A = this chain, B = another copy of it.
Amino acid sequence: MQPMVAEILDGKRLARELHAEVKKQAEALAAGGTRPGLATVLLGDDPASQSYIKSKIKACHEDRIESFHHGMPAETSETELLELVATLGGDPRVHGILVQLPLPAHIDESKVITAIPPAKDVDGFHPANLGRLGLKGAEAAFAPCTPAGVIEILERAGVTISGKRAVVLGRSRIVGLPVSMLLLRNDATVTICHSRTADIGSVTREADILVAAIGRPRFVTADMVKPGAVVIDVGVNRVDDASRKRGYRLVGDCDFEAVAEVASAITPVPGGVGPMTIAMLMKNTLTAATVR
């Protein structure tokens, strides 16, 4: 077996740095009379969603951000949810509002997201915020937390983005599209690939920076990566693993061990982009409280 050549970009460590910065600023804000506050809303009891929300509330406590959590039954009507969002929108203690997705099928997700005031949309999913993402010099926007975390990792790892060829695998509203816009705003030449892309390997091999967000376990193989590329793996996929007590393990969209022999740097899964996502949520909440 060849030795690994890639630097492992440690998202946990980078996230710890960011949390420490947020905490310090949150304390300074609180000393000035404004305690930053984040409202979280969860419908139903999906275990994955519950686990995400728990991590977010925990991060609030650690970073000195006031947490207002609203757990509601899965049967909650769209009207009730919209009323709650409106109440939170008018609550001066609440600087950020996060409605945990996905929502139950009887609720129009886009209606709920659009009901969040853009200035409190710390998840960055409001179309008015998404629409500003690609614009240099446009009004400050909240970038969605995972894409913002990708950029934060690149910056903190000292990777130059400007002038580089960046290829993004995936065009979702949550990751692929916004991360493309952020890379573009940072002066990369950006290519967006997806399920309809022909000869996808020939496209990904052009990338100096490759962002995988396609949601397929180990889809990106070593031959799809240009030697020396920086690879950011946003995928979180469960694969069966009988050797684990819970019967599965988490893997990214990249064949990590093989790609690490080709890339110059790569984020692991777990422990790469994941920890940065929650840290960016805290940072966005702090920004929302500061702007006010």
Residues of A within 8 A of B (CB): 110, 114, 126-135, 138-139, 162-165, 171, 173, 177, 184, 187, 189-194, 196-198, 203
The residue among A128, A129, A131, A173 with the most chain B CB atoms within 10 A of its own CB is A131
CA gap between A138 and B111 in the complex, in Å? 11
Please report the C-alpha to C-alpha distance between residue A203 and residue B138 in the assembled complex, in whole angstroms: 27
Are B197 and A193 closer than 8 Å at their CB atoms? Answer: no
In the complex, the chain B residue whose C-beta lies closest to that of A125 is: B131
Once the chains are docked, how many angstroms separate the CA of A25 from the CA of B175? 39
What separation, in Å, do the CA atoms of A177 and B180 have in the docked complex? 11
- Expressed in whole angstroms, the Cα–Cα distance for A197 and B193 within the complex equals 18
Expressed in whole angstroms, the minimum distance between the Cβ of A206 and any Cβ of chain B is 8
What are 9 A-B pairs with beta-carbon distances under 8 A?
Answer: A126-B131, A127-B131, A134-B173, A165-B203, A184-B194, A189-B198, A190-B192, A191-B191, A191-B192
- In the complex, which of the residues B114, B164, B190, B197 contacts A163, with contact meaning CB atoms closer than 8 Å? B197
* Chain B residues closer than 8 Å to A177, beta-carbon distance: 134-135, 184
Structural contact, B171 and A184, CB atoms closer than 8 A: yes
Q: Is the CB of A192 within 8 A of B194?
A: no
Q: Are A132 and B139 in contact (CB under 8 A)?
A: no
> How far is A191 from B126 in the complex, measured between Cα atoms in Å?
25
